[in-house]
Structure 1
Amino acid sequence: MTTQLPAPAARTARPPAVRPKAVRPKAVARAGLCAVLVANVAVVTALFLQAGPGVNALIAIGRLTGLYAALLMAFQLLLVARLPWLDRRLGMDRLTSWHRWTGFSLLWLLLTHFVFILFGYAQVSELSPVDELVLVTTTVEGVLRAVVALVLIAVVGGASARFARRRMAYETWHFIHLYTYLAVVLAFSHQVAVGTTFTASPSATAYWWGLWGVALGSVVLGRLVLPLWRNLRHRLRVSAVVPESDDVVSIHITGRDLDKLPARAGQFFLWRFLVKGRWWQANPFSLSAMPDGRTLRLTAKALGEGSASLRALAPGTRVFAEGPYGAFTALHRTRPDALLVAGGVGITPVRALLEELGGHLVVVYRVSRPQDAVLLDELRDLARARGAVLHVVTGPSNAPTPYGPPLGPGAIGSAVPDVRDRDVFVCGPPGMTGAVLRTMRELGVPKRQVHAERFSLAS
């Protein structure tokens, strides 16, 4: 039986709303990345023209596309470096999506570079393209490395295609993806060895060394140095393991100087629990309580072998955490009031946000069965304390109601008549999140007010 969304409740006393930022952090970060990319495209084009186009048009096009591919490869590294400033403003979901599409663009640029250079030099030497390829790979330094790099990137691109990704275990896909770093090193060494533009002038050489230094340095800083430094500083350990239901468990974590850890409600970490058989597995789980400077808490559902084994963790277990990550935070508020919509275990970051957000809040918690509503007692207590309205919606997604689908425009519009004047935070399984986003579009909620996190990493 479906629990329908009731009529809007009267507003009660609530925490004061925080004044939203005049300039959206997401817009600043997006504009900054675009400006950096456009400026570097202009520099690369100028360096290409300074060096001269080459002996024929085919070689000229090949060289230019190769330079753009090198620039895009460096930009790719910046997108996955997990730099805190970018991640807090754009979120790993968005950065990963951009990385994916930039990767396919990079593959096409590299293929274009390969084909035009090969046919251009074959035209000059009057050899067949196959004979020219054999000649340059066996006699010209760096060309064989470039061919290997192209093959590696093509393999990674194929593994990242949706049809292949769905049929591949995450660990397998991730292992294949690591070969991208080898391809980057091989491509850079090729550019150093035979890149005409690289050695055309001292300024060109300085530019390319600087570009690759910043890109690779960002990866080392964001994915190695910063996580190591934070874990050495905070010394995280499991303090308690609390079962919430038959298949949901909360892990409480303590450490040193947690008030200096820049974590916010709505964010997640990649958690490694340093016990035999698990230390190498990193699982992404959101904080299920607002960080208070003394403890951190995550709540996980048994969706796989890794998350199912959390119940067996012992207090005192050392923890290595990468993060915090995510832009699903109050940093992106645009309105004083908010609607929070959660599905299943996606309630964890929403429950944390309920603690932090000010203004009038409405929470819609969607589950298939009443017994699936984890942390429900906490949600009710928090809602009462903060003057928020809590709706728990259960039953099949296609169950008929007087308002249409449970999370459709009729139901949401009836329960939250002023939804267009609110921020909307949505977190849950991809199907539910997509349905809520469509509802927001149909209700006319401005896109800038909708903040979504697809809770699918842990699966």
Structure 2
Amino acid sequence: MTTVERVQPPPTAIRPKVVARTGLYALLAANAAVVTVFFLQAGPGSDTLIMLGRLAGLYGALLMAFQLLLVARLPWLDHRIGMDRLTSWHRWVGFGLLWTLLSHALFITLGYAGAASASFWDELVELATTTEGVLRAIVALALILVIGGVSARFARRRLAYETWHFIHLYTYVAVVLAFTHQVAVGTTFTTSSAATAYWWGLWGVALGSVFLGRVVLPVWRNLRHQLRVSAVVPESDNVVSIYVTGRDLDLLPARAGQFFLWRFLTKDRWWQANPFSLSAAPDGNRLRLTAKTAGEGTAALRHLKVGTRVFAEGPYGAFTTLHRTRSETLLVAGGVGITPIRALLEDLHDHVVLIYRVATDRDAVLLDELRELAHAKGAELHVVTGPATPDKLAPRELARLVPDVAERDVFVCGPPAMTSAVLRTLRDLGVPGPQIHFERFSLAG
């Protein structure tokens, strides 16, 4: 095993995550203020229900554009906040969008129904059949209702990822329909040239961000680097490492702890992308991922042929040394969650303690590498084995292994149950929140 010395950035005083999060909040608040000003300039009108409906529609359009920004996979945001948190925010903004658009449809229809002395449903049919853009808006709302329904936890758990993702793609159809509705009947498009320019600019930035982050950057990077499988190395009966090489990999902005969406271009798997972390720090010559068999897709990895073309989207994730706040570090891994932790160990140069939680020694992936690397770097390695209960990383046990845990940055990666338990333990031991770093794979369409 070869390690490459790197100049490690010092712990940052200003947290990149806080800067990015504050910037997003400020961006949303500033745009909400602009939308309100343009709404008031256009003249709210005398009917309260119609006024509330129009304002809800404008805020709904703003939230829809903001949602697109959250899942655009722009590197600056992703590397500071992380795809998992951006996806979570996208989900909650989606529920806010659902309620604002329902309010828009309800208040507008009730307002016009009252003015015409008609029933709600008669007025809705009248608007849909006589007013340009309204039918498109109804279709867009119906799509958003379906997407919101399948994104609810009880439904999401029952759907295959591919099914959920396919349904989620209809969000883009809803966006186009909603925007054409806004252009057709939105008062800000007809009464103010400044507001018209603002909305065109807003939608241009939102859709342009998605196109840049989801299409342009991945295609450009893959054309530039020409990735191919260079070696397939079985690590155990159910774990395999894939080595990937390409051109100018020293120019690929990947960091230890990050992951890619890997697509191996074979005739039966080219359409399937899976998230795997780098299991070794990038050295400018090759990338390595290590995967545990969890289904047909991962089982097929050990049968990949050397030379297979690879399309990789990324790098993604904020689980990197960019977010360190202390000089010394504790790394906690469970199971195959060791892969990004192993890469981080290679990338850290101050005193490191690594705790690897597995059921048995046979489950410890890359253990020989970890021992060699820990010895070379002067790190402490603790392999903790045994059943899940009793908790061998409970507060007392963890404090015994790492007495100065509250003075360290802590990076945690493992199965959800273990990760949640360790996070509770860290909080019980008084480890400040800014020193705790974890990330979950969460993909959004």
- Alpha-carbon separation, structure 2, partners of 1:313 and 1:354: 28
- Aligned residue in 1 for 2:144: 153
1:327-338 matched pairs, under 5 angstroms: 327-338=318-329
1:434 shift after superposition: 0.3
Q: Do 1:271 and 1:319's aligned partners in 2 also have CA atoms closer than 8 Å?
A: yes
Aligned residues: 439
Q: Do 1:15 and 1:359's aligned partners in 2 also have CA atoms closer than 8 Å?
A: no
1:275 shift after superposition: 0.5
- Alpha-carbon separation, structure 1, partners of 2:347 and 2:377: 10
Closer, same or farther: CA 321–53 of 1 in aligned 2, 3 Å? same
Matched, 1:438 2:429: no
**What per-residue deviation string (whole Å, max 9, x for no partner) do you get for residues 382-416 of structure 1?**
000111001111111113xxxxx211101111110
Matched, 1:425 2:411: yes
Secondary structure of the residue aligned to 1:336 is coil
1:381-420 matched pairs, under 5 angstroms: 381-399=372-390, 405-420=391-406
- Alpha-carbon separation, structure 1, partners of 2:303 and 2:25: 46
1:242-321 matched pairs, under 5 angstroms: 242-321=233-312
1:21 shift after superposition: 1.4
- Alpha-carbon separation, structure 1, partners of 2:428 and 2:48: 51
Task: For 1:415, give the aligned amino acid.
Answer: L
**Alignment match of 1:95 (pick from 86, 89, 109):** 86
Task: For 1:87, give the aligned amino acid.
Answer: D
Higher relative contact order (CA closer than 8 Å, sequence separation 6+)? 1
**What per-residue deviation string (whole Å, max 9, x for no partner) do you get for residues 49-105 of structure 1?**
000112300000000010000000000000000000000000000000000000001
1:199 shift after superposition: 2.2
- Aligned residue in 2 for 1:453: 439
- Aligned residue in 1 for 2:97: 106
Q: Do 1:429 and 1:454's aligned partners in 2 also have CA atoms closer than 8 Å?
A: no
- Alpha-carbon separation, structure 2, partners of 1:129 and 1:396: 61
Q: Do 1:18 and 1:358's aligned partners in 2 also have CA atoms closer than 8 Å?
A: no
- Alpha-carbon separation, structure 2, partners of 1:455 and 1:414: 31
Q: Do 1:274 and 1:318's aligned partners in 2 also have CA atoms closer than 8 Å?
A: yes
1:370 shift after superposition: 1.3
1:29-68 matched pairs, under 5 angstroms: 29-68=20-59
Closer, same or farther: CA 456–82 of 1 in aligned 2, 3 Å? closer
- Alpha-carbon separation, structure 2, partners of 1:428 and 1:22: 28
Secondary structure of the residue aligned to 2:291 is strand
Q: Do 1:249 and 1:301's aligned partners in 2 also have CA atoms closer than 8 Å?
A: yes
Q: Do 2:332 and 2:413's aligned partners in 1 also have CA atoms closer than 8 Å?
A: yes
Task: For 1:144, give the aligned amino acid.
Answer: L
Q: Do 2:249 and 2:286's aligned partners in 1 also have CA atoms closer than 8 Å?
A: yes
**Alignment match of 2:66 (pick from 66, 75, 79):** 75
Closer, same or farther: CA 138–392 of 1 in aligned 2, 3 Å? same
- Alpha-carbon separation, structure 2, partners of 1:18 and 1:208: 41
1:89-238 matched pairs, under 5 angstroms: 89-238=80-229
1:358 shift after superposition: 2.0
Task: For 1:428, give the aligned amino acid.
Answer: G
1:430 shift after superposition: 0.7
Q: Do 2:87 and 2:442's aligned partners in 1 also have CA atoms closer than 8 Å?
A: no
Q: Do 1:429 and 1:456's aligned partners in 2 also have CA atoms closer than 8 Å?
A: no
Q: Do 1:16 and 1:359's aligned partners in 2 also have CA atoms closer than 8 Å?
A: no
Q: Do 2:49 and 2:107's aligned partners in 1 also have CA atoms closer than 8 Å?
A: yes
- Alpha-carbon separation, structure 2, partners of 1:441 and 1:340: 16
Closer, same or farther: CA 178–162 of 1 in aligned 2, 3 Å? same
- Aligned residue in 2 for 1:357: 348
Closer, same or farther: CA 443–231 of 1 in aligned 2, 3 Å? same
**What per-residue deviation string (whole Å, max 9, x for no partner) do you get for residues 237-268 of structure 1?**
00000000000000000000000000000000
- Alpha-carbon separation, structure 2, partners of 1:16 and 1:321: 26
Consecutive unaligned residues in structure 2, runs of 5 or more = none
Consecutive unaligned residues in structure 1, runs of 5 or more = 1-13, 400-404
**Alignment match of 2:371 (pick from 365, 369, 380):** 380
Q: Do 1:17 and 1:337's aligned partners in 2 also have CA atoms closer than 8 Å?
A: no
| Identical aligned residues as a percent | 74
Closer, same or farther: CA 332–262 of 1 in aligned 2, 3 Å? same
Q: Do 1:263 and 1:291's aligned partners in 2 also have CA atoms closer than 8 Å?
A: yes
Structure 1 length normalisation: TM-score?
Answer: 0.94
- Alpha-carbon separation, structure 1, partners of 2:183 and 2:153: 34
1:18 shift after superposition: 4.6
Secondary structure of the residue aligned to 1:40 is helix
**What per-residue deviation string (whole Å, max 9, x for no partner) do you get for residues 327-376 of structure 1?**
00000000000100011100000000000012110001111121110100
1:297 shift after superposition: 0.2
1:125 shift after superposition: 1.2
1:17 shift after superposition: 7.2
Structure 2 length normalisation: TM-score?
Answer: 0.97
- Aligned residue in 2 for 1:4: none
Task: For 2:84, give the aligned amino acid.
Answer: D
Q: Do 1:237 and 1:318's aligned partners in 2 also have CA atoms closer than 8 Å?
A: yes
Task: For 1:131, give the aligned amino acid.
Answer: D
Q: Do 2:258 and 2:340's aligned partners in 1 also have CA atoms closer than 8 Å?
A: yes
Task: For 2:63, give the aligned amino acid.
Answer: L
Secondary structure of the residue aligned to 1:251 is strand
Q: Alignment RMSD, CA only?
A: 1.3
Which 4+ residue blocks in structure 1 deviate beyond 4 angstroms? 14-18
1:145 shift after superposition: 0.4
